[in-house]
Structure 1
């Protein structure tokens, strides 16, 4: 597949920097559609500024939101209304998760920062029978389909940024200020490991450089 000319890429980069929008929040409503109408306990791993945790709180009896960055949790608490059933915890996703089980576990743009297989196995152990794990993740483009979706996402990203910001330059959303790093696992590796650790999990490649993974643990 022929790459875009470098001058076009630079122009798109400048445009996207002036019209930023949150690619992770784009999938929050989709995440909610994967969940039951009411759930008991929910866990959001890598919660950042807490947008998804607050959305989960509209449907869950209690939400535990975990992030390794205590500074961003200060912002998350400030943005959460008093009395909301959300508890923010500064902890490591592999060694410090509050004890489960949880009826719902969500993990958005965090899994590529962790040992992939260990993290999925850890989440499964914390999932209640009949519970649902939903992941929105990043992987390294590896297949023709990955590269085609990536190419389509470039102009689509600009259009969405323009529309969401009303055609005007906008500041970077607070939810996008956390440190990031590129994914190292390819999409095929992600799919193979997910099938091995979470039999029956459904993975789909998505626009805007993301994949989704849904696993429902069987009831005992």
Structure 2
């Protein structure tokens, strides 16, 4: 179901390419609103250039960011003030999570690159009692509702790109430069698998081709 003509879609895609913005960073402040005011340890999975990890450090005593890309980890370290309680390491979440448990774990636009059930099970194991897991993920558009939400997001995406880039030369955000691949799980499949591993998890479709998952360890 296409609510916009191919000609309009092409024009919007050209505009979006000229006015890029970080869809993942759009949800960072929302993530903070799901978390306690203060907590001890946080883990940011797929930390990229470190924007979210540095935000978490405002509330946390200690933040660890992990990412598979050595270049972007190096950039994250460059951008992080020496006094900030944040460390970054090149690591695979399935094998290289820093030891210990975490009061907060965040995972933004990463889990669709991983074996979904295995990754959620591992993150659950690393979450401390009372801790909070927040995932912002990508799902494959499958249902009519998915297609409708995607169609609505296209012009809004253009408006957001114009607003964020007005008055300056548009540059592709650092955290968007890593290779990404399309999601291969539909949202209904994600909900089913997530609630099997994380009973009571709250999942919701979001704008800009994302969904969110929140789960609290008891």
CA distance in 1, matches of 2:32, 2:6: 38
Deviation of 1:3 after TM superposition, in Å, equals: 4.8
CA distance in 2, matches of 1:174, 1:114: 22
Hey, what does 1:126 align to over in structure 2?
A: 126
Hey, what does 2:199 align to over in structure 1?
A: 199
Instruction: Write out aligned runs for 1:79-94 (5 A).
Output: 79-94=79-94
Contact 1:46 1:107 in 2 (8 A): yes
Q: Deviations 1:11-50 (Å, cap 9, x if unpaired)?
A: 1111001111100000000000000000000000000000
Deviation of 1:164 after TM superposition, in Å, equals: 1.0
Matched, 1:45 2:45: yes
Deviation of 1:168 after TM superposition, in Å, equals: 5.4
Deviation of 1:147 after TM superposition, in Å, equals: 1.1
Hey, what does 2:211 align to over in structure 1?
A: 211
Hey, what does 1:96 align to over in structure 2?
A: 96
Q: CA RMSD in A?
A: 1.0
Moved more, 3-12 or 47-56: 3-12
CA distance in 1, matches of 2:2, 2:98: 48
Deviation of 1:167 after TM superposition, in Å, equals: 6.0
Hey, what does 1:152 align to over in structure 2?
A: 152
Closer, same or farther in 2 for the Cα pair 1:2/1:17, shift >3 Å?
Answer: closer
CA distance in 2, matches of 1:38, 1:169: 37
Relative to the length of structure 1, the TM-score reads 0.97
Tell me the SS of whatever aligns to 1:130. strand
Pairs aligned (count)? 218
Tell me the SS of whatever aligns to 1:200. coil
Matched, 1:181 2:181: yes
Contact 1:20 1:173 in 2 (8 A): yes
CA distance in 2, matches of 1:51, 1:35: 16
Tell me the SS of whatever aligns to 1:192. helix
Tell me the SS of whatever aligns to 2:98. coil
Hey, what does 2:77 align to over in structure 1?
A: 77
Structure 1 stretches lacking a partner, 5+ long: none
Contact 1:19 1:170 in 2 (8 A): yes
Deviation of 1:173 after TM superposition, in Å, equals: 1.2
Deviation of 1:180 after TM superposition, in Å, equals: 0.6
Hey, what does 1:108 align to over in structure 2?
A: 108
